Amino acid sequence: MESIIITIDGASSTGKSSLAKAIAKHYGFKHIDSGAMYRALTFYAQDHNLLNDHKFNVDMLIAKLPTIDIDFTNADEIRLNGKIIDDEVRSMEVSSKVSLVAKEPLFRQFMVAKQRKFGEKGNVVMDGRDIGSVVFPNATIKFFLEASMKVRINRRYAELIEKGVQVSVEEVHANIAKRDHIDSSREDSPLIVPENAILLSNDKEGLTELLNIATTEIDKHLL
């Protein structure tokens, strides 16, 4: 079978990672959640007192990059310098600052190089904001996932509550709206619909239907 790369882009909480995971499981491919990588770097900055509500020491974080190792375990958990930080990266503290980190071009270069390396051997499903547009513009198949604001808020709120995070619907809404604005208006690699991407909507379809649509498209490339 030919080695392929599948990209799924879209805004926050549209369900990209759930669909990416389901596709990866279906074909036995690797799933890479590129958002978790930006979240890991944000967590590092906060944990090392380089980023809080009052300051962001971009230069110091840049200086630290050679000492920062971000990868995934075989079970797709995100690891920062050897430590699994799956729960830490989902905190509201990280969510509230991740887009500020992700808009800096040097941090993007750092991530894009890693993401291309993760995709080197193919048979990868990677989700994010710029995967089909910048990281793998020649990907075998590209999807762009959309959902209404209401669906996105409900998804993220339910996810956080299930994880035991204390949060209100208003906070979730404000965070999603703020990240939409920063992610779509930044100069470097803004969130766009990549050329040739297939549009999917999470409003009408559930995960099973989306997986069906996606696998029908992907199967055409595997014949």
Closest CB to ligand CDP belongs to which residue? 35
12 scored as a contact of ligand CDP (CB under 6 A): yes
Q: Which two tokens stand for residue 76?
A: 């797709």
Helices (H) and strands (E) in the chain, counts: 8, 8
* Identified binder of ligand CDP from the candidate list 6, 24, 29, 34, rule CB under 6 A: 34
- In terms of CB distance, is 64 or 114 closer to ligand CDP? 114
The interface with ligand CDP within residues 111-130 (CB under 6 A) comprises 128-130
Please state, as a whole number, how many other Cβ atoms lie within 10 Å of the Cβ of residue 193.
Answer: 15
Within positions 130 to 189, which residues make up the interface with ligand CDP, using CB under 6 A?
130-131, 179, 183
Nearer to ligand CDP, 12 or 222 (CB): 12
- Does position 98 interact with ligand CDP (CB under 6 A)? The reply is yes
Does residue 99 belong to the site contacting ligand CDP (CB under 6 A)? yes
C-alpha 166/C-alpha 109 separation (Å) is 34
- Dist. CA 184–CA 129, nearest whole Å: 9
Interatomic CA distance for residues 51 and 45, integer angstroms: 5
DSSP secondary structure letters along 19-44: HHHHHHHHHT-EEEEHHHHHHHHHHH
**Which listed range, 57-65, 95-103, 137-145, 204-212, lies at the site for ligand CDP (CB under 6 A)?**
95-103
Given the rule CB under 6 A, which residues bind ligand CDP? 12-13, 34-36, 38-39, 98-99, 102, 128-131, 179, 183
